[in-house]
């Protein structure tokens, strides 16, 4: 999809430099909180370490720490506060200008001319409600997935919410527990902790007395206790994600383009408003006369009409509705859109970086193959016992799926698994599984040079990035009642029974989803903190085709330009640190790629934050979900094509309706300038422009924006839109001025005063309605039954407005007659022909495209 990948674009502006005021205040509050926590720790009464390890904190000590605010409370909120959401959607330039106009009309004019006020309210309400709903959903999700902590207090074990853990608490760590705060190990029995959420390394780390246990990590084997030394915002996980929690807007081409249009219009409004006001006052006899007679009120209403017409107020509304409807659709598919334009973002992506652990894989092992060497009766029973053990590590636990019937006898003795010894052992004294059984790494369990066939099979599996474990056996050597200790257990005389090969469980929908992205021309890269050979094996499982064992990120250069050169040829990388993940995203962006990043761990948070679109798994860390643009609540990769489809529909349809809105803005600006220079009375009342906006733009644009559209993303939204809108708006403006000039030059002799002006206003209203309907018909092509019905309904609505007396009275319309009616018909026909020729010309040049 990217045709300019070789070009180097300027470094992106760091959005965290010019931080919003609320972000700066939050950072200052956090700094004060850290200082206060440090002071509070210093004021605590000394704690007897020996007594603490044996009995934990007393109730009085817990209360003392709560009073000092040394608790583990961490705010798991989405990126923006409620006030920030309201401020961003209510206090906009559009709403300020239109709100001021609304007040003016209500004060000095006819309330019927204030219909445009509904757009102000609706536009703000939709944005606020949708973003607030996303915030509530994410906050509830964080609460639902909040783990519990097990602590020792007053000599008794207690289970409580993670936020209730305090400084110096003694944590009781068991297999499967998540470490709730940074702590120092007090006791360890084969304790192993998985820190992949923090470091990306999937291999567990053995913990001994005095080692650190970091918040966010998980116990995967053994058990132990630890003393908390850092809680809340001081924990490692909180510090790592401090930068990632700063708010920044998703890079949206649609929003950026619309904001540029708003900026251009804002600058143009100042001189044009002055020109129009002066022209309207002059048209009513000059400033002094208009003020003296009270006609200045009519002049103000006319000026408001010109201002409202120049602002494409509905474009922002329709864009918000399109994003909002897409977000609701995706929410039904368990995809949380945290910021509305993120729906568009994934459709623009041409590079997807995928984390392995927990994203492509389910974060757990599965048994891939079993090779028997010399079967011994009872071997299947032993494997079932290993898998069902309460402290089984991730590898042993994967045996449960294949081996489900453990022996009835209790073991005579056992040796717990540890990464240091790389094996576990169990002895059954009698029964069908009698003997010593060892499960572990083949190169450790089997003596070097013995059993070459088993070692060769193990080496072959390791070369494919798989994990090989050998089950070995020997006859019982220890006497009953005299079990060998861990240190005394001997590996001599073991014979291989079975080689068990494990792999990480790949998500079943990962391969098909990645193939979809390949078909769409999106490049894919897998970046992981795990061993490159393991990453390469997973990459092949999900459809990657390459030679070698993956690239070791420890060899990546620090310079972004040099890193980008490496990334041009390498697609599978292992041993990637959290900082390198962020740098990889930035290096790809420097080569003009639009980058999406998927992840689930705290180690992915910085990369997710800096990517154009961050996608978090619903089972991932709360901090990771908080900084992501999209959250796959059920962790299903298969939802991503739906997100792309919604994004394409939004981009294509918003571009289509933007042509309608900017056509109106163009002719409104032109006639305002011309009328101001000529000092003529403005040819519309605000309520008449409300008809034009509703029937040729607002209502049809609403339905056009929601219809299916599968056109692939094409860059250049603003350029293509202006190429159509400016010429078509110029044509409409020429038609308006031609009819208005005729009405003023050849007035109806039977009419005078306001009746003459009303007939002229009706003639130009009819002209702009008919020509603008032709613009609508061109942009709605090719017609199907829904599009044909839509355009027909608008034509019928026009006829009804002109035919029903109440409608004509409400909108101040008098049907023209005689020469003015003939001139209106002739000019309207010429305008429709000109629009048709323009559309066909731009279609040939690719500036406009029909839906796919």
CA-nearest of 849, 707, 679, 701 to 772 is 701
Distance CA 300, CA 321 (A): 32
| Contact status, residue 286 vs residue 296, Cβ threshold 8 Å | no
Neighbours of 84 (CB within 10 A): 16
Distance CA 82, CA 85 (A): 5
Place of tokens 């939802």: 639
Distance CA 26, CA 45 (A): 31
| Contact status, residue 295 vs residue 122, Cβ threshold 8 Å | no
- Is 355 a known active-site residue? yes
| Contact status, residue 160 vs residue 147, Cβ threshold 8 Å | no
Q: Is the dihedral of CA 660, 661, 666, 670 positive or negative?
A: positive
Asked if residue 782 has a cis previous peptide bond (ω within 30° of 0), the answer is yes
Partnered with residue 574 across adjacent β-strands are: 552
| Contact status, residue 170 vs residue 499, Cβ threshold 8 Å | no
| Contact status, residue 738 vs residue 827, Cβ threshold 8 Å | yes
CA-nearest of 761, 754, 737, 774 to 688 is 761
CB under 8 Å to 601, separation ≥6 — which residues? 196, 197, 198, 200, 355, 357, 358, 620, 621, 624
DSSP string, 606-642: HHHHHSSEEEEETTS-HHHHHH-SEEETT--GGGHHH
Six token digits for residue 716: 């250049």
Write the burial class of residue 225 (CB in 10 Å: 0-12 exposed, 13-18 middle, 19+ buried). Answer: buried
Distance CA 713, CA 288 (A): 56
Neighbours of 735 (CB within 10 A): 26
Neighbours of 96 (CB within 10 A): 13
| Contact status, residue 205 vs residue 185, Cβ threshold 8 Å | no
| Contact status, residue 659 vs residue 779, Cβ threshold 8 Å | yes
CA-nearest of 120, 45, 618, 118 to 334 is 618
Place of tokens 């006899």: 285
Of 355, 436, 530, 549, the active-site residue reads: 355
Which helix H or strand E contains 156, and what residues bound it?
strand 156-161
Write the burial class of residue 331 (CB in 10 Å: 0-12 exposed, 13-18 middle, 19+ buried). Answer: middle
Could you tell me what percentage of the chain is helix, strand and coil, using 3-state DSSP and rounding each to the nearest 5? Answer: 55, 15, 30
CA-nearest of 378, 372, 402, 397 to 386 is 397
Beta strands in 162-279 (DSSP E): 170-173, 182-194, 205-206, 212-213, 218-230
Distance CA 539, CA 711 (A): 30
In the chain, how long is the greatest CA-to-CA distance?
126
Annotated active-site positions, please? 355
């Amino acid at each position: 999809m990217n045709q300019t990948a070789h070009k180097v674009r300027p470094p992106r502006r760091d959005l965290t430099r010019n931080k919003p005021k609320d972000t700066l205040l939050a950072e200052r509050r956090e700094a004060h909180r850290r200082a206060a926590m440090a002071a509070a720790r210093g004021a605590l009464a000394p704690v007897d370490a020996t007594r603490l390890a044996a009995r934990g904190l007393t109730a009085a000590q817990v209360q003392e720490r709560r009073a000092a605010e040394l608790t583990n409370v961490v705010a798991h909120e989405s990126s923006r506060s409620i006030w920030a959401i309201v401020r961003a959607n209510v206090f906009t330039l559009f709403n300020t200008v239109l709100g001021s106009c609304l007040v003016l009309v209500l004060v000095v004019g006819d309330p019927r001319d204030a219909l445009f006020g509904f757009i102000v309210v609706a536009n703000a309400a939709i944005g606020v409600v949708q973003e607030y709903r996303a915030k509530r959903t994410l906050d509830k999700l964080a609460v639902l997935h909040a783990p519990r902590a097990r602590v020792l207090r007053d000599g008794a074990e207690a289970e409580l919410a993670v936020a209730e853990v305090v400084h110096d608490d003694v944590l009781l760590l068991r297999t499967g527990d998540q470490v709730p705060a940074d702590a120092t190990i007090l006791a360890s029995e084969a304790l192993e902790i998985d820190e992949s959420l923090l470091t990306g390394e999937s291999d567990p780390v053995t913990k001994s007395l005095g080692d650190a246990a970091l918040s966010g990590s998980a116990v995967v084997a053994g058990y132990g206790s630890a003393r908390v030394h850092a809680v809340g915002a001081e924990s490692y996980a909180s510090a790592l994600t401090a930068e990632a929690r700063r708010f920044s807007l998703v890079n949206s081409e649609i929003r950026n383009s619309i904001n540029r249009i708003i900026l251009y219009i804002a600058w143009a409004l100042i001189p044009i408003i002055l020109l129009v006001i002066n022209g309207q006052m002059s048209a009513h006899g000059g400033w002094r006369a208009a003020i003296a007679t009270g006609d200045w009120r009519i002049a103000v209403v006319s000026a408001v009409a010109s201002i409202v017409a120049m602002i494409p107020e509905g474009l922002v509304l329709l864009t918000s509705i399109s994003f909002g409807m897409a977000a609701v659709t995706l929410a039904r598919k368990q995809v949380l859109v945290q910021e509305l334009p993120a729906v568009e973002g994934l459709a623009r992506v041409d590079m997807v970086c995928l984390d392995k652990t927990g994203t492509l894989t389910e974060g757990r092992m599965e048994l891939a193959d079993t090779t028997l060497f010399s079967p011994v009766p009872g071997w299947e029973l032993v494997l079932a016992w290993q898998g069902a053990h309460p402290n089984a590590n991730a590898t042993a636990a994967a045996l449960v799926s294949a081996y489900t019937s453990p022996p009835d006898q209790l073991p005579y003795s056992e040796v717990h698994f540890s990464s240091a010894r790389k094996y576990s052992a169990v002895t059954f004294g009698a029964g069908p599984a009698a003997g010593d059984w060892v499960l572990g790494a083949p190169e450790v369990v089997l003596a070097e040079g013995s059993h070459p066939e088993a070692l060769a099979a193990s080496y072959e599996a390791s070369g494919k990035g798989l994990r090989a474990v050998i089950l070995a056996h020997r006859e019982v050597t220890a006497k009953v009642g005299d079990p060998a200790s861990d240190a005394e257990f001997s590996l001599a005389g073991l014979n291989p029974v079975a080689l068990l090969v494990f792999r990480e469980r790949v998500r079943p929908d990962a391969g098909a989803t990645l193939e979809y992205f390949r078909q769409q021309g999106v490049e894919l890269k897998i970046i992981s903190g795990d061993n490159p050979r393991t990453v390469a094996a997973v990459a092949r499982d999900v459809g990657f085709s390459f030679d070698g064992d993956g690239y070791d990120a420890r060899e990546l250069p620090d310079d972004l330009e040099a890193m980008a050169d490496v990334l041009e040829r390498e697609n599978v990388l292992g041993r990637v640190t959290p900082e390198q993940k962020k740098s990889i995203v930035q290096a790809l962006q420097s080569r003009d790629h639009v980058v999406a990043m998927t992840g689930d761990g705290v180690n992915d948070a910085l990369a997710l934050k800096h990517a154009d679109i961050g996608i978090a798994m619903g089972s991932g860390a709360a901090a990771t979900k908080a900084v992501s643009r999209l959250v796959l609540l059920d962790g299903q990769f298969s939802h991503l094509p739906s997100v792309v489809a919604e994004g394409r529909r939004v981009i294509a349809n918003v571009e289509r309706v933007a042509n309608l809105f900017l056509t109106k803005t163009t002719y409104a600006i032109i006639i305002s300038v011309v009328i101001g220079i000529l000092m003529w009375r403005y040819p519309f009342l605000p309520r008449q422009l409300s008809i034009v906006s509703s029937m040729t733009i607002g209502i049809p644009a609403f339905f056009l924006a929601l219809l299916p559209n599968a056109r692939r993303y094409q860059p250049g939204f603003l350029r293509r839109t202006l190429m159509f809108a400016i010429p078509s708006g110029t044509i409409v403006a020429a038609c308006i001025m031609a009819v208005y000039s005729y009405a003023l030059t050849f007035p109806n002799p039977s009419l005078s005063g306001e009746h003459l002006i009303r007939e002229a206003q009706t003639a130009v209203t009819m002209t702009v309605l008919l020509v603008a309907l032709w613009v609508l018909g061109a942009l709605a092509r090719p017609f199907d039954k829904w599009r044909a019905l839509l355009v027909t309904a608008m034509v019928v609505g026009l006829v009804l407005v002109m035919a029903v007396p109440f409608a004509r009275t409400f909108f101040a319309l008098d049907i023209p007659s005689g020469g003015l009616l003939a001139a209106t018909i002739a000019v309207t026909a010429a305008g429709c022909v000109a629009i048709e020729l323009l559309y066909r010309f731009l279609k040939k040049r690719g500036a406009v495209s029909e839906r796919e």
